[in-house]
Amino acid sequence: MENPVGALRASVDRLHALASGLDDAQLVSQSYCNDWSIAQVLSHLGSGAVISLRGLQDLRSGTATPDEFNQSVWDEWNAKSPASQIADALVADEAFVRDLDATPSEVRETFHISFGPFDLDFDQFVGLRLGEHVLHTWDVEVTLHPGAALAEPAAAVLLDRLHLVAGRSGRATGQVHRVRVRTQRPTRDFTVVYDEASVTLVDDAHDEFDVELPAEAFVRLVYGRLDALAGLDDAQEVHLEHLRQTFPGF
């Protein structure tokens, strides 16, 4: 994965620019996430930054993070006012990315952390945060600026970890078939492979494709955030609608 910390820094800066000028009504307005306001999206990112920073610091010091720590953080953030959720999230977000950026190379090379069901090296750990951060930043941005797209540098980085996301978010249809996808900016070829019980995404160069779309749109698709896309012919739209149903989001 190419420079995930740099891509995360750009996403942090983008979110800060979006959120710092919100008025009181916008704080509590609906985000793209059905169950969360804009303030609640920021609260989720802020609490996640606190938890991830603690995990990173404890790993470096050889200290075990208490089992109850995560729940205590979520309880604290859920009790904040919308204005505090926004302000505190921006502070926590910045603190985490600064700590990542300052992590020395020798620590990055030997880094290993268990995060839920995953065993992650440093770039994978940052990549997990990057995907969450970039998509939730879009959840805020698209409500303020309809038609918003993911930043292309971040989308290019996230393409490298879409295989893992697709394996978690994909819903099998009971049919065995394939959908060939070509992305633009950057150009990449993928195949969504369906068998009776699972969905996988594989790198698979091909001369013809079923759907062609911008890389940022394909990232949003796999994360369950692509409602419409202009410029497709009818045949591609059929395949795209099938992919939307395959990846309903987390």
Task: Indicate if 172 and 80 belong to the same structural domain.
Answer: no
For residue 1, what pLDDT is reported?
52
- Whether residue 213 contacts residue 239, with contact meaning beta carbons closer than 8 Å, is answered with no
Pairing outcome for strands 177-184 and 188-194: antiparallel
- Whether residue 203 contacts residue 231, with contact meaning beta carbons closer than 8 Å, is answered with no
* Higher-scoring residue by pLDDT: 10, 118: 10
Token pair for residue 45?
A: 């990112």
What H or E segment, with its residue span, contains residue 86? helix 82-102
Q: How many domains does the chain have?
A: 2
Average pLDDT over residues 166-173: 88
> Which of 126, 153, 180 is at the close of a domain?
153
Task: Indicate if 140 and 32 belong to the same structural domain.
Answer: yes
Task: Indicate if 98 and 44 belong to the same structural domain.
Answer: yes
Task: Indicate if 113 and 197 belong to the same structural domain.
Answer: no
Task: Indicate if 168 and 145 belong to the same structural domain.
Answer: no
Task: Indicate if 207 and 149 belong to the same structural domain.
Answer: no
* Higher-scoring residue by pLDDT: 163, 2: 163
> Which of 93, 120, 153 is at the close of a domain?
153
For residue 217, what pLDDT is reported?
96
Task: Indicate if 109 and 219 belong to the same structural domain.
Answer: no
Task: Indicate if 139 and 171 belong to the same structural domain.
Answer: no
Neighbouring C-beta atoms of residue 40, cutoff 10 Å: 19
Average pLDDT over residues 24-45: 96
* DSSP structural state of residue 31: -
Q: What is the mean pLDDT of the chain?
A: 93
Q: Is the pLDDT of residue 18 over 70?
A: yes
CATH value at residue 204: 3.30.1050.10
> Which of 99, 119, 153 is at the close of a domain?
153
Full domain range(s) for residue 45:
4-153
Task: Indicate if 106 and 135 belong to the same structural domain.
Answer: yes
- Whether residue 194 contacts residue 219, with contact meaning beta carbons closer than 8 Å, is answered with no
Task: Indicate if 132 and 190 belong to the same structural domain.
Answer: no
Each residue of 69-97: pLDDT tens digit?
Answer: 999 999 999 999 999 999 999 999 999 99
* Higher-scoring residue by pLDDT: 137, 195: 137
Q: What percent of the chain has pLDDT over 90?
A: 77
Q: CA-based angle 43:36:250, to the nearest 5?
A: 95
Amino acid at 105: S
Q: Is the pLDDT of residue 219 over 80?
A: yes
pTM value is 0.93
Q: Is the pLDDT of residue 202 over 90?
A: yes
Task: Indicate if 178 and 207 belong to the same structural domain.
Answer: yes
